[in-house]
Amino acid sequence: MSVTDQLVKSNRDYANGFTDPGMDARPVLGVAVVACMDARLDLHAALGLELGDCHTVRNAGGVVTDDVIRSLAISQRKLGTRSVVLIHHTGCGLEAITEDFRTELEMEVGQRPAWAVESFRDVDQDVRQSMQRVRTNPFLLHTDDVRGFVFDVKKGRLHEVDPPR
């Protein structure tokens, strides 16, 4: 049985006991969380969140890309979120690779990716850059409550990053 088959089977079991929670797509807490896709981050548990509390946008590094801005704009303008929480983490894979990854891909497949890797060496500075990208984006309505954090994957604790000056 493949991993996907196992997931589909698990969904059948889940659906058998499922009850419609009766909520819509608007997050109860009015917050969008942007975080890394790293499998070690259990955001709901780490932040004390329940189903329906927040919008969660995840990608490699938790980087604020154009697609993250697209999701945040929809989240704010159509679904009522007002706060943005950015979460990067210690030991991120983006610290171990460089923009040369795009060249490697180009050499392998014959086409250069249009996207940037967004690798970094200083996780706190990368959080600051992400905060700045959110705070200065014209498509976002609510940029006054934007906070950034680094999650320590060994201790399970967040530390807040000072905003850019």
Interval 20-65: pLDDT, tens: 989 999 999 999 999 999 999 999 999 999 999 999 999 999 999 9
**Helix H segments across the chain?**
3-16, 43-47, 66-79, 100-109, 123-135
What is the average per-residue pLDDT within 126-132?
Answer: 97
pLDDT of residue 164: 73
What is the average per-residue pLDDT within 60-74?
Answer: 97
pLDDT of residue 165: 74
> What is the pLDDT of the chain when averaged over all its residues?
96
Strand order in the sheet with 83-89: 54-59, 31-36, 83-89, 146-152, 157-161
Interval 81-105: pLDDT, tens: 999 999 999 999 999 999 999 999 9
pLDDT of residue 155: 98
Contact 56, 43 (CB under 8 A): yes
Strand partners, 150: 88, 159
Helix (H), strand (E) at residue 59: strand 54-59
Contact 93, 38 (CB under 8 A): yes
pLDDT of residue 60: 97
